[in-house]
Amino acid sequence: SNMKLILIFGALIGASLCLETFVGHQVLRIKTKNEEEVKQLQLLESLEHLELDFWINPSAPALPVDVRIPAVSVHSVKAFLESQGIEYSILIEDLQDVLDKEKQDMDESAQRQRSSSFDFGAYHTLDDINAELDHLASEYSFVEKIQIGESYEKRPLYVLKFSTGGSNRPAIWLDAGIHSREWVTQASALWIANKIASDYGTDDSITSLLDKMDLFLLPVANPDGFVYTHTSNRMWRKTRSKTPGSVCIGVDPNRNWDAGFGGPGASSNPCSDSYHGPSANSEVEVKSVVDFIKNHGNFKAFLTLHSYSQLLMYPYGYKCTRPDDYAELESLGRAAASSIRSLYGTTFQVGTICKTIYQASGGSIDWSYDNGIKYSFAFELRDTGRYGFLLPASQILPTAKETWLGLKRIMEHVRD
Amino acid sequence: ELPPSHFSAARAAAVAVGYLRYLRGGPGRGLELRELRRARRQDISDVGHKYYLELELEDVSDKDRTVNCTAEVLYHLGNKTSAPDVQVTVQGELRSTEEADKQFYNWIRSLEKELVAENIPDSHGNVPPELEPIHLLAWVASGYVIWQNSTENTKFHLAQVKHVKQVKRSDEDLQFDFVVLLHEMVSQEVLPWEVTLLWHPQRGARVSQ
């Protein structure tokens, strides 16, 4: 009878150990024929000391019941089922074997990933990107990974420093991903980092550049937003900071710089995608860069990557007047656009932010320009709207390669 | 005369492309702006601003082919609730899509369960090949929405098809209920929009109100 069997099971408690592995655990599939059998299984289910783990709980006769049984109870449960005439089959003979195989597969896959090169032609998670930064820093003596601050959600802001020597050499700044949904920018920045690191010593231009100047590259300027685009909303643009008094989250980090802050082209509404924030530099992601650049004191160029629209822009955005260096910046911009076009025919429009895209206050290159960094350019990479933010991964490498030619042209000018 | 790189010319061009996609697009034809060749603006007192554009377009299914058009886009003064008036003249012939349209029509009609799909393209920019015609119909539907809702201060692009559901009809049209995400460049907002599109191989597309 049931009572007798329950007592038998009860006696087994003493014998059960607290195991962390699943050696000898079996998973059975039980086929019930009627309500009576379902009730039997529900009774079994209620015996907590058996530590039966129902993957599909008993509910109706027509539905199978899957249950994981700890090793010590396997024999008894089977005896019980057989005595009641309840049909079952063995889905998994030994669960630990299955888990071991799965772990082995995963380890092999991870091993393949580690020893083979990083796939620059694919989109990656923040963790994978950070791992690659470590890899580059360890691979090349003149590449160093430094942390310039932390995001709102306490993620490190990692910058790659390319320096072949000297002391506080004149430097170039390059950032990507300040707007997190612009995925081709973080991806391109990684490729560019690898390109510069691997071609130093063989490519004349890169070699003479790094022999005279330092390069600082921030591939993921908005890591909180970037993670959010992976986990929750692919179209997220802003930071993830909380605004007191509002249910809406985030500040547009490219309206938060101290250049015409709060002026036209930025919203005072926290729910807007171009919300400028409560004050200039309120966003730690922005402040960290500002402080780093000010403390360094010797930056000559400030370059930032966005997508999409295929534009190459220089200041100003917060006002529609030309910068003092208009002629030189326009000419250099055109030369860079020409270099970009030379590879695949991709055309970039050149001009001030205000004339080319819209008036927008609080932008990064306006700040850098007004703080003495003459060569301040903002790139909007591929495409022009066909895929927009969702640029197919197959276009990452062509985009990175052509963009690099434009950046190189500018850097060469700065160097000379 | 406006430099083609000027934002107001680019915004008017986006309206013209949206309008053209609505009029001439289909499951086998997606028109994309390749280049804005020339732009002029005329301020008509008490009426509005009229843009005269010369555009070079490409058919995404046949990228080596380009087609030239001229367009006129009139934004009405003050009255922000009325859509811009658009006229487009295509020079030459657009490639025929009769075969592809018929195939697509028959395929959809043969489905036992109504077609449902989401996130086209996906986060990585991928579109499964069998869903490309649906993607292009979303361009048609969003082309209408973009045309109807544009002003001189907006520039819309289709960011993603969030959701599409086919609805079986008793007549011969195909009906697709879309939720599209439109990216508005000036405010940078990404806004969801519901739009229902009816399509027939001979009769073409129309947005149902």
Residues B49-60 have a mean pLDDT of 95
> Does A107 map to a domain?
no
- Please say if the pLDDT value at position A12 is more than 70: no
- The answer to whether residues B33 and B69 touch, using CB atoms and an 8 Å cutoff, is no
Does A165 share its domain with A268? yes
Domain total of chain A: 2
Give per-residue pLDDT as tens, A189-203. 999 999 999 999 999
Mean pLDDT score across all residues of chain B: 94
Percent of chain A with pLDDT over 90: 75
Taking each helix axis from N to C terminus, what angle separates B132-149 and B7-24, rounded to the nearest 10 degrees?
130
Distance CA A352, CA A306 (A): 15
> Does B136 map to a domain?
yes
Instruction: Determine the distance in angstroms separating the CA of B143 from the nearest CA of chain A, rounded to an integer.
Output: 12
> Does A10 map to a domain?
no
> Does B29 map to a domain?
yes
Q: Dihedral angle at the C-alpha atoms of A278, A281, A284, A287, nearest 10 degrees?
A: -170
CB–CB contact A388 B122 (8 Å): no
- Please say if the pLDDT value at position B209 is more than 90: no
Give per-residue pLDDT as tens, B73-109. 999 987 667 899 999 999 988 989 999 999 999 999 9
Distance CA A381, CA A315 (A): 17
* Chain B residues within 8 A of A384 when measuring between CB atoms: 33
Does A137 share its domain with A82? no
Does A40 share its domain with A149? no
Active-site residues of A, by number, are 380
Selection from B28, B2, B12 nearest residue B146 by Cα: B12
Which residue is listed with tokens 């434009």?
Answer: A406
User: Would you give the end-to-end CA distance of chain A in angstroms?
Assistant: 94
Residue A113 pLDDT grade (very low, low, confident, very high; cuts 50, 70, 90)? low
Domain of residue B161, CATH code: 3.10.450.10
Selection from A320, A315, A306 nearest residue A371 by Cα: A315
> Does B1 map to a domain?
no
> Does B150 map to a domain?
yes
Does A220 share its domain with A139? yes
Work out the number of other CB atoms within 10 angstroms of the CB of residue A103.
10
Give per-residue pLDDT as tens, A146-172. 999 999 999 999 999 999 999 999 999
Give per-residue pLDDT as tens, B155-182. 999 999 999 999 999 999 999 999 999 9
Which of B4, B14, B159 shows the shortest C-beta gap to A389?
A: B159
Q: How far is CA B175 from CA B101, B148, B167, B207, in A?
A: 15, 20, 5, 10
Does A227 share its domain with A311? yes
- The answer to whether residues A261 and A280 touch, using CB atoms and an 8 Å cutoff, is yes
**Chain B: which residues have CB within 8 Å of chain A?**
3-7, 14, 32-33, 35, 60, 121-126, 157-160, 181, 183, 185-190
> Does B146 map to a domain?
yes
A90 at B interface, C-beta within 8 A: no
User: Would you give the end-to-end CA distance of chain B in angstroms?
Assistant: 37
- Please say if the pLDDT value at position A15 is more than 80: no
Domain total of chain B: 1
Does A334 share its domain with A192? yes
Distance CA B181, CA B186 (A): 15
Distance CA B114, CA A281 (A): 51
Does A149 share its domain with A276? yes
Q: Which pair of structure tokens corresponds to residue A197?
A: 């690191």
The predicted pLDDT at position A13 comes to 54
CA A97 vs. chain centroid, Å, equals 34
The predicted pLDDT at position A46 comes to 86
- The last residue of one of the domains, among A75, A93, A111, is A93
CB–CB contact A390 B186 (8 Å): no
Residue B101, H or E segment: helix B98-110
- The answer to whether residues A87 and A64 touch, using CB atoms and an 8 Å cutoff, is no
Length of chain B: 209
- The last residue of one of the domains, among A46, A77, A93, is A93
Give the CA count within 13 Å in the CB-facing half-sphere of A212.
12
Mean pLDDT score across all residues of chain A: 92
The range of the structural domain enclosing residue B22 comes to 7-208
Residues A21-38 have a mean pLDDT of 89
Give per-residue pLDDT as tens, A359-416. 999 999 999 999 999 999 999 999 999 999 999 999 999 999 999 999 999 999 999 9
- One-letter amino acid at A65 equals V
> Does A112 map to a domain?
no
> Does A265 map to a domain?
yes
Q: Which ipTM was obtained for this model?
A: 0.88
- Please say if the pLDDT value at position B64 is more than 90: no
The predicted pLDDT at position A97 comes to 81
Does A185 share its domain with A318? yes
- Residue in chain B closest to A266 (alpha carbons) equals B187
DSSP string, B46-85: TTEEEEEEEEEEEETTEEEEEEEEEEEEEEESS-TTSPPE
The predicted pLDDT at position A109 comes to 63
Distance CA A408, CA A342 (A): 13
Residues A254-276 have a mean pLDDT of 97
Helices vs strands, H then E, count in chain A? 13, 12
The range of the structural domain enclosing residue A65 comes to 26-93
A395 at B interface, C-beta within 8 A: yes
* Total-model pTM: 0.79
Residues A135-154 have a mean pLDDT of 97
